[in-house]
Structure 1
């Protein structure tokens, strides 16, 4: 299996993270790249650099207003007297109406859902190349590759069309699915991250041409709280094209795999000929977020189950945070997939 990564993705180096009113070091560290690279290589992956497909595939899902914000906000922020080193919102609109603030502070609140997506000097470049990594993976499948792994960092599934959040800026899995769709393929997105892919759901919620399925810790008491509940099925033409499968905190391998069967049945019944797997490894029992309790061998079972769909597969990296087994868990998924 080929893997895709660009060194410019190292340049996003967030410092700020607030949890329960406490400022902490950001869990989404560049060191994740080294651990994931080792894990992919241990699975036999050969790395290639992404090609630059330009802004078109990104702007197919993200508004030009939002792209303009991401591209320029760090420079604008530095002009504020006494501003911090990172763009972090401190005010949010109760309702995102037609009015649009002119100030950098107001726009940060408009385009950043929470304090978990700080924007620094290298964020735009890293996010751009993270998206290009996913796009190149999609193009590989469109050209006939059976499977590929896109080491996307920063991740993407919490990014809406004009809103960053939860460590995410561009919705890499969504961009890849749209790229595959426009190449003539029927694409489904299967999100196995411990957190609900709320941005992915939001982008496709009223559409019937891309199926979105997410297995995640129950958001009643877990991020992202406001999305990811089982009754969210889509709207308009998209009704029935979104499936959420929330699980109790601490769910382990066997119960998870049973739920995965339900998710895979929905992908099959959509008639998908390609699946984009939003690959969060943070469902691991030892992950810092402690949402679910998947073991390292359990990830191999997840990979094997996905392989049994018998369709082309693009793995797009989402979460999975610094713990000793992070790279091993990636190896387990990919070898489980290839050995099925």
Structure 2
């Protein structure tokens, strides 16, 4: 075999060969259509740099970004019966749970953790939308209650990051029972005099928005988050009216007094730390800003040097000038 067949032809084939590129290398901005490199998006906390659009942030990454230096400990949550009703639709509920755990890397739809936020001890719970749309089931309800009880035991504020499609239908009435149970947990926090801050992310809907998501001492929403109970189409068919374009958005709820503030994701940590510090009557360690060093003023010439620089004629004239 000559060099044309062994060297040249393989190189020509490589030029025309289709290269495999990972699908998640570039992410499209839903608002502007801009393609953003995934590392740039991750470094900016999943906020598109140019448009400011808040993409959905992975639950575990949110926990790491919220605590100081990403240092935290997971709170142990109770185990529950996996499939109490032996539910099955197009597939078995147990199979759906296995797929969700494999896809998200988590055991359930809620992550509970403790750590320091700007130097203050804090307990948080984060709903994972990748786990069956962050739906509220028995395990999720037990996790939220465990986090609230731990906050009461340790005397820390409790912050709830909500992202959910509502109650988990596969668990039926047992899922709906988590709404009053978590409400009891909120009451425990209030009796202990501890702040309960709710962060509403995209989306916050269904039974979750009808329970612990709207019972906070302070309600903060991320820009553009969808927040509501029933869907837009269902409401329009019920009231027989056309709803505003920005209906059920964070900005719409802020204008109508349903939430307290809309805060960008980059400012959430400092905002929550400041609010909890005020409610707990504690001083919060704010990030230190390096002030520019003041420029040293130019040294003025000494009096003796100035006198030496005075011309001799002017000096003689002053000595012979009569006193007034």
Question: TM-score scaled to structure 1, two decimals?
Answer: 0.33
Higher relative contact order (CA 8 A, sep 6+): 1
Which structure is higher in helix share? 2
Which protein shows a greater Rg? Answer: 2
